[in-house]
Structure formats: C-alpha cells, structure tokens
Amino acid sequence: MTKKIVLPPQEGTPAVNEGIKKESNYLRGTLKESMKDPLTGSIGAADQNLIKFHGSYMQDNRDERDERQRKKLEPSYQFMIRVRTPGGAATSEQWLMMDEMARTYGNGTLKITTRQAFQLHGILKWNVKAYMQEMNRVLLDSLAACGDVNRNVMCNVIPTTSKIHEEVYQWSVKVSEHLLPKTQAYHEIWLDGEKVHDTPQVEEVEPIYGELYLPRKFKIGIAIPPSNDTDIYSQDIGIIAIVEDNELKGFNITVGGGMGMTHGDDETYPQLGHLIGFVTPEQLLVTTEKIVTIQRDFGNRIERKNARFKYTIDRYGIEWFKEELHKRLGFELEEARQFHFERTGDEYGWVKGENGNWHFTLFIQGGRVKDFEDYPLMTGLREIAKVHEGRFFMTPNQNLVISDITPTKKRKIQSLITKYKLTDGKHYSALRRNSIACVSLPTCGLAMAEAERYLPSLITKIEEILDESGLHEQEINIRMSGCPNGCSRAAIGEIGFIGKGPGKYNMYLGAAFNGSRLNKIYKENVDEATILQELRTIIPHYAKERLEGEHFGDFVIRANYVEATTDGTNFHTKPSVLR
C-alpha cells in the first residue's frame, strides 16, 4: 500500500490547473452533474479541464459562433473524444463500432490522429456517456487519452517484420496500461461503476501519479529502426527497439522531447529528446515509471507554459537527470546501442510480411475518414472491416494499415479496395504522401489558422512548382499546425507551418527527413502568396543543385536559407545567414 504522495514544494503560486486537480477527488469533479444539466451543451471550466483526463475536450464549432450568437443561441458546444489505442491497433469489430458511433453520435467522420488514435468530433454532451459505454463494449476506452498524464503510447507500424512488430507492439500496450491512472472516476462517471466508498486518507489511489497527476501532458512513443515513423525525438520518452539477429534485445531510451511552444515567448520551444542509454525489455516498465515520477516531482507546477518534461530536463541538466533516474531505479542504464533512422513517413500499398501475411497501407489525407464526393472512403473501410480478420493499424502519419491479411483473403480485400477506389496514394506527389495536418478549425479551441482543411489545397499549388522542377516523386515532409502546440509535429517538418492568424503562418525549413533535427523559422507571419513565392525560388534551386540523395531539409541549410537548429534552445535564433 502506497502512502499518499507528497510533492516537493515549489516557489510561487501553483497554476490554476493544479488546484482543479487537487479539488477533483481524483478526476471526478462535478462531471457527473454537469454532464446532465439540460440547459447548456457545455460544462463548467473546472470540469472542462478534468474531462480531458477522461479523453475528451469540450469544443464548439467555431464556424458557427457568430451566427449562433446572432440567433441568441449558445455556441454549438460539442465534445471531441479521443480513444486510447496503443500502437494504433484496432480490431475489425472495434473499427465497425467507431464507424457506427461516428455516424450515430459524431459528425459522421473519423479522424486518425498523429498519435495513432481514433478521434471523434461533434458529440453532444448528452451522448458522451452512451458513446463511452458503446466503446467499452468493444474493449476500448478513452482514459488518459488527454490530460496531464501519459497519453496514448505510439508504436511503429511497419509490419513486414511481423514477429518483432508484434512483440514491440505488445510493449506499447504494456507501457500504456502500466501508466494508466488508477482512479475509478472513469468507471463511475461513464460506465455506471460502483462508487468506491470513503477513500482512505493515508492510502494513495494513484501510486505513480499522486492526486495532482503530472504538471503537464506526457507522451511516449516506440520506434523500430530504420523507421522513425513515431518521431521518437518529439516524445517525452522515446523508446527505440534494438533488434539484433531478429531478436528484440531491449530499448534505447530518449528523454525530454516535445513540440509545443507559445508564440512570442522564447522561453518556450520545441525540443528533441536526449539519448540516455539502453534498457532490457524487463527493465522497460520500471524505467518509464521512474522517469514519469521524476517529472511528477520536479516538473514546473507554477508556470504551465514551462511545465513540459523537456523544460525540466533542460533546467536541471541531463547529467542530473541520469543520476536521479539511476537513484530511483537502483541500477544504471547501459550505454545506448547502435541504431540508424532513415525516415519518418509511411510506405504505401501492398507489402508481404515475413509470416506470409499481407498488409496494405492506405493513404488518408489529413487522417480524415469520411465519404467524400466520388471517394467513398468511410464506406469502403466499413465494408473491408466486415470481412477483414486481421487488425487495423493507424499510423503516426495519419494513414491506415489493413494488416495481417491471409493470402487467401487478399483477393477479397483487393476487390473491395478497387470497388471503393481506396488509394495507396501513389498517384499523389511524394510531398502529399508525406504531409501531416492537425485538426485545427473549426473544432479546435486553440487554432489560430486553418490546417487540415487548408493544407491539401496549398500542396496542390506547391505541386505545380514540384512538377515544373521534376520533383513529383521527391519525398519531402510537409507539416502544418493551426497553433504552436504542435499536434502535427510541424517543428520537425522539412517544410513546417505554424498558424499565427487567419491565413497567416510562420514558415519553417530545415528539419531532418528522419526526424533527428528541428527546423528553423524562415519567414514570419506570411500568407499563401509569400509562401508560394519563396518556394518558387527554393524548390527549383533544390532541384538544380541538390547532391546525390540529399534531402530538402539538409539542402536548405547547406544553401544557407536557414541555419541548422542543433538544439531546441537555439530554435528561436533568427536566421543569421542572408541570401
């Protein structure tokens, strides 16, 4: 039995969220009551914070705000629910349930997130509970999909190495389960679970987190080199599977990556994780747990903008951190093993796994699954799920792998793919195939500019320049976020856009194609015309003068468009080299 966790004191007034957590009785708050209030589709401010820990954000359709105000209606409050799917895995049964729920309670579409999770938008307050219960029937939950806890654990989806992938995927599930909050609040509020009577005063309900949980969100991802599709340097904890002789030996660990920042505040910045060593599989869970507890105890609980783990590490130094970790673990991490990353993007189409089963990676623009005019994507996937016996894997690039198709089933699946015109995206430019956009407007409350709804049309215009330069098949990462919080990991896009205001973006260049270097600001607060004008210079230049195999992100540094960002702490250094 763990005693109540008492955190070391910090100087200053704790952030508002800390008080909300403290008062919440382990994430209960007044959610039960406020979800029932029939006069508003919203819930109170404190409950809005708490419901994130349950995997949901209260949002409203921002496109309708003005109109509704004129009509004397409150904003169209609705809930986004993000489902916890470690490694992006879903059975056909689960896929069909999500599909049905999206059409019954949601806005009729599914979003595959950049963290390999299902996300449903547009769920009305009165339907949230029913949704949670339906999801529970197919063994899915949304616990800790958002909030100041460890979020959905990501995992590489290259399924060709079937045995290793399965093993590593299972570790992502174990890490996720291990770091789940233990409070019964989720069961009580959504699943009509029995209320746990009289929480004992001395016993700790949350042996890892304590009643204040973490100071800020926390993210973990696992990669299997040479693919860095999970962008492990962007994670609070990056886990790199070390495979030798087709055996999983263990994992290299990185700590302190993170994307978010605040416009105009140079004290905030994106950072890449630092490699700290190697652990065996048996050491993985305890290692992640102890890392989490260090952030719990030392993360900044006064200033939320500086509360992410990356700032804790940068403040105390990596050597201090390693020492603290060794102290808590009781053993030292081994030296990191050799590994090599090539890329972050997905490879599309049919591939055969080593066990003889087939996998089809489907290109899904912006991760949005719906029936488009002339492209019945959602229907097609539903029909596939009705016959598919393997699993689905949502990729970190918002695409979908229809996985583990037996050779005998392949023909059937292919006929459905053909029938519904589902696409591996091969006819698209390599730029589009390597694009990521966050949701942004109209539902995200943080959005300052469009992302998912706009990036496709911007790419169409960039494609003209690429085609003229003969670069249609040149892979370049392009990422767009509507705000600086970084859901699309735009700070490690070879071309990155971060929203500043309607139609205006900060434009970043120079990240590494394999995710190992951040980009650098190139132009501030620019509109589409300026973006295209700049690319009309840089892309033909790249086409003409690139070296053999040189990626766009490397070229723009060599050609002095931007300086290389060598560490998050110099991300904001203005470009000193002028062309």
Partner 1 sequence: MVLQVVNSPFTEQQIQLLNELVPNLSAEQKTWLAGYLAATTQHGQTNQPAVIVEEVQAPIKTITASILYGSQTGNAKKLATQFAEELKQNDVQVEVYSMVDFPVKKLKKVDNLLIVTSTQGEGEAPDNAKTFYEFLHGARAPKLENLKYSVLGLGDTSYDLFCQTAIDFDTQLHKLGGVALVPRVDCDLDFQEDASNWFTAVQQALLQQSGVGATIAQEKVSSTQEVTAYSRQNPYYAEVLEKINLNMTGSNKETYHVELSLEGSGISFTPGDSIGIYPKNNTARVQSLLEALAIDANDHVTIQQEELTIQEALTHRLEISVLTKPLLEKLGVSPLPEVAWREGRDLIDLVKSYDVKLDAQTLADTLRKLPPRLYSIASSYDANPDEVHITVGLVRYDIEERHYEGVTSGWIASELAIGDQIPIFIQENDHFRLPKDDEPIIMIGAGTGIAPFRAFIEQRDETGATGESWLFFGEQHFVTDFLYQVEWQRYLKEGTLTKMSVAFSRDQAEKIYVQHRILEEAKTFYEWLEKGATIFICGDEKQMAKDVEAAILQVIQEQQNTTEHEARAYLERLTQEKRYLRDVY
Active site residues: 82, 151, 217, 219, 438, 444, 483, 487
Identify the residue among 3, 9, 72, 197 touching partner 1 (CB under 8 A). Answer: 72
Give the nearer residue to partner 1 in terms of CB position, either 121 or 216: 121
CA dihedral 360, 366, 368, 373 (to 10 degrees): -90
Closest approach of partner 1 to the CB of residue 110, in Å: 21
Residue range at the interface with partner 1 (CB under 8 A); choices 64-72, 110-118, 357-365, 406-414: 64-72
Q: Which of residues 23-52 bind partner 1 (CB under 8 A)?
A: 38-41
Size of the site for partner 1 (CB under 8 A): 16
Give the nearer residue to partner 1 in terms of CB position, either 13 or 40: 40
**CA-wise closest residue to 83 among 376, 392, 382:** 392
Give the nearer residue to partner 1 in terms of CB position, either 104 or 418: 104
At 108, which amino acid appears?
Answer: G
Closest approach of partner 1 to the CB of residue 80, in Å: 16
Closest approach of partner 1 to the CB of residue 466, in Å: 39
How far apart, in whole angstroms, are the C-alpha atoms of residue 186 and residue 515?
36
Binding mask 398-427 for partner 1 (x = CB under 8 A): ------------------------------
At 327, which amino acid appears?
Answer: K
Residue range at the interface with partner 1 (CB under 8 A); choices 70-78, 87-95, 343-351, 554-562: 70-78
Query: Could you tell me which residues are beta bridge partners of residue 468?
Result: none
Bridging pattern class, strands 504-509 and 358-362: unpaired
Give the nearer residue to partner 1 in terms of CB position, either 89 or 132: 132
3-state secondary structure of 460: helix
Closest approach of partner 1 to the CB of residue 69, in Å: 8
Binding mask 104-143 for partner 1 (x = CB under 8 A): --------------------x-x-----------------
Enumerate residues 6+ apart whose C-beta is below 8 A from 413.
Answer: 358, 360, 384, 387, 388, 402, 405
Phi, psi of 395 (to 5 degrees): -95, 160
The burial class, CB within 10 Å (0-12 / 13-18 / 19+), for 324 is middle
Closest approach of partner 1 to the CB of residue 122, in Å: 10
Identify the residue among 3, 8, 70, 427 touching partner 1 (CB under 8 A). Answer: 70
Six token digits for residue 104: 């019954």
Phi, psi of 153 (to 5 degrees): -85, 125
Number of Cβ within 10 Å of residue 424's Cβ equals 18
How far apart, in whole angstroms, are the C-alpha atoms of residue 138 and residue 131?
11
Q: Is 71 in the site for partner 1 (CB under 8 A)?
A: yes
Give the nearer residue to partner 1 in terms of CB position, either 76 or 287: 76
Six token digits for residue 118: 């299902």
Identify the residue among 67, 100, 389, 468 touching partner 1 (CB under 8 A). Answer: 67
Closest approach of partner 1 to the CB of residue 72, in Å: 5
How far apart, in whole angstroms, are the C-alpha atoms of residue 80 and residue 78?
7
At 286, which amino acid appears?
Answer: V
Number of Cβ within 10 Å of residue 233's Cβ equals 31
The Cα angle at residue 55 between residues 49 and 59, in degrees rounded to 5: 60
Residue range at the interface with partner 1 (CB under 8 A); choices 25-33, 71-79, 290-298, 464-472: 71-79
Closest approach of partner 1 to the CB of residue 76, in Å: 6
Give the nearer residue to partner 1 in terms of CB position, either 125 or 388: 125
Give the nearer residue to partner 1 in terms of CB position, either 76 or 399: 76
Give the nearer residue to partner 1 in terms of CB position, either 60 or 99: 60
Residue range at the interface with partner 1 (CB under 8 A); choices 62-70, 169-177, 232-240, 527-535: 62-70
3-state secondary structure of 200: coil
How far apart, in whole angstroms, are the C-alpha atoms of residue 89 and residue 487?
20
Binding mask 526-545 for partner 1 (x = CB under 8 A): --------------------
Enumerate residues 6+ apart whose C-beta is below 8 A from 525.
Answer: 500, 501, 504, 505, 506
How far apart, in whole angstroms, are the C-alpha atoms of residue 8 and residue 215?
13
Q: Which of residues 74-93 bind partner 1 (CB under 8 A)?
A: 74, 76
Give the nearer residue to partner 1 in terms of CB position, either 64 or 475: 64
Closest approach of partner 1 to the CB of residue 46, in Å: 17
Phi, psi of 57 (to 5 degrees): -115, 140
Identify the residue among 73, 139, 387, 577 touching partner 1 (CB under 8 A). Answer: 73
Number of Cβ within 10 Å of residue 472's Cβ equals 14
Identify the residue among 68, 129, 472, 541 touching partner 1 (CB under 8 A). Answer: 68
**CA-wise closest residue to 250 among 152, 335, 157, 150:** 335
How far apart, in whole angstroms, are the C-alpha atoms of residue 300 and residue 309?
9
Closest approach of partner 1 to the CB of residue 98, in Å: 22
- Per CB under 8 A, residues contacting partner 1 are 38-41, 64, 67-74, 76, 124, 126
